């Protein structure tokens, strides 16, 4: 089935839930199952967690008069574990949230936090200046300001005689 092969979002991995497809489908308790419940054999379904899987980062993208702004929650991620790749029409955010606890799997009652690699590529609605980017993380919120290309901007050049 196509539903089982689609990539889970960062939020789905973070909360341990699965996205319901749109339509008149009835919600069953097995649709929202934590990893611990799967490990203990509860909550049916064919969901398999892959260790090398990469989560998709959830984002907000909006514009101001001069900028395109991208915001993403990256709580628990060190700035050196974040990588931003900026092009004129695309931004890629990659990172890794490292788990620094040494707790035996059998000692968890509930395990819903996502630890591991994540990424997101955003195709921008208009071109930006790749050199004019400001990225700030504050209290777990990453805010990236991308200056829009001003196509109406004109520059008058004086011709010199040699």
- The predicted-structure confidence for 30-66, as pLDDT tens digits, reads as follows 344 444 444 444 444 444 444 557 888 889 999 999 9
The mean pLDDT value for 9-34 works out to 54
| Rounded distance between C-alpha atoms, residue 39 and residue 34, angstroms | 9
Domain with residue 60: its CATH number is 2.60.40.790
156 in a structural domain: no
Inside any domain, residue 129 = yes
What total of structural domains would you count in the chain? 1
pLDDT tens readout for residues 70-113:
999 998 888 888 999 999 999 999 998 887 678 888 888 888 87
Mean pLDDT of 133-153: 90
Find where tokens 């195709």 sit: 123
Q: Does residue 157 lie in a domain region?
A: no
Segments forming the whole domain that contains residue 75: 2-148
Structure pTM? Answer: 0.61
Q: Which residues contact 29 (CB under 8 A, 6 or more apart)?
A: 43
158 in a domain, yes or no?
A: no
DSSP secondary structure string, 74-120? -TT--GGGEEEEE-SSEEEEEEEE-------GGG-S------EEEEE
Residue 159 falls inside a structural domain: no
Residue 118 near residue 97, CB atoms below 8 Å: yes
């Amino acid at each position: 089935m196509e539903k089982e092969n689609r990539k889970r979002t960062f939020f789905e991995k973070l909360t341990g839930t699965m996205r319901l497809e749109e339509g008149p489908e009835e919600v069953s308790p097995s649709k929202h199952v934590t990893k611990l419940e799967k490990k203990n054999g509860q909550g049916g379904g064919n969901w398999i967690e892959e260790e090398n899987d990469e989560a998709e980062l959830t984002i907000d993208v909006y514009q101001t008069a001069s900028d395109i702004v991208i915001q993403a929650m990256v709580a628990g991620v060190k700035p050196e574990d974040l990588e931003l790749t900026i092009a004129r029409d695309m931004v890629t955010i990659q990172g890794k949230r490292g788990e620094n606890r040494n707790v035996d799997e059998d000692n968890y009652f509930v395990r819903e936090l996502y630890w591991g690699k994540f990424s997101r590529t955003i195709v921008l609605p208009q071109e930006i200046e790749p050199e004019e980017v400001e990225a700030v993380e504050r209290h777990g919120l990453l805010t990236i300001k991308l200056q829009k290309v001003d196509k109406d901007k004109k520059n008058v050049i004086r011709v010199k005689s040699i």
